[in-house]
Chains A and B, each alone.
Chain A
Amino acid sequence: MHDITDKTDNDLVALVRQNPEALTHIIDRYRTKLERYITRRTNVNNHDREDILQDVFIKIYRNINDYDNSLIFSSWVYRITYNHIVDWHRKNKKHISISLDDDESKLIHVLQDESGVLDSQEQHDQEALGLIKKEIQKLSPDYQEILMLKFFEDKSYEEISDILKISTNSVGVKINRAKKILKEKIYA
Chain B
Amino acid sequence: MHNDHILQKIKEGNVKPISRNVFRFRKVSIWFLLAVSTMFGAYAFAFFFLRTLYIDFDNWHYFASSYNQFLVYNIPIIWLCLFGLSILLIFYLFKKTNRGYKYSIVFVGASSLIVSFILGLALSKVMAQRGTVIAQFENERIISWTNPESGRLSGEVLFIGDQYILLRDIKDDVWNINTTYVLDNSREVLLNSPLISIIGKYDYENNFTACQIMPLHIDKLRFRPDPSNRPRLGIAKGNKFVDDICDFVINER
Contact = CB atoms under 8 A, between A and B. Distances in A.
Given A28-B3, A53-B1, A58 B9 contact: yes
A58 B10 CA distance: 7
Contacts of B5: 54
Main SS at interface, chain A: helix
Given A68-B98, A161-B102, A165-B101, A57 B17 contact: no
Interface size class of A (residues with CB under 8 A): 20 to 34
Given A54-B1, A65-B17, A65-B18, A168 B10 contact: no
Contacts of B20: 65
B104 interface: yes
Interface in A3-19: 17
A161 B101 CA distance: 8
Contacts of A24: 3-4, 6-7
A17 B16 CA distance: 10
Interface residues of B, number: 24
A63 B104 contact: no
A12 to B, nearest CB: 13
B3 A169 contact: no
B191 interface: no
A3 B37 CA distance: 50
A27 B5 CA distance: 11
B78 interface: no
A63 B22 CA distance: 10
A65 B23 CA distance: 8
A111 interface: no
Interface string B14-38: 0111111011000000000000000
Nearest to A67: B23
A23 B17 CA distance: 12
B163 to A, nearest CB: 74
A78 to B, nearest CB: 14
A65 B5 CA distance: 22
B101 A62 contact: no
A61 interface: yes
A73 to B, nearest CB: 15
Interface string A13-36: 000010011011001100100000
Interface of B: 1, 3-7, 9-11, 13, 15-20, 22-23, 98, 101-105
10 contacts: A27-B6, A58-B6, A58-B9, A62-B16, A64-B17, A65-B17, A65-B19, A66-B18, A166-B101, A167-B103
Interface of A: 17, 20-21, 23-24, 27-28, 31, 50, 53-54, 57-58, 61-66, 68, 161, 165-170
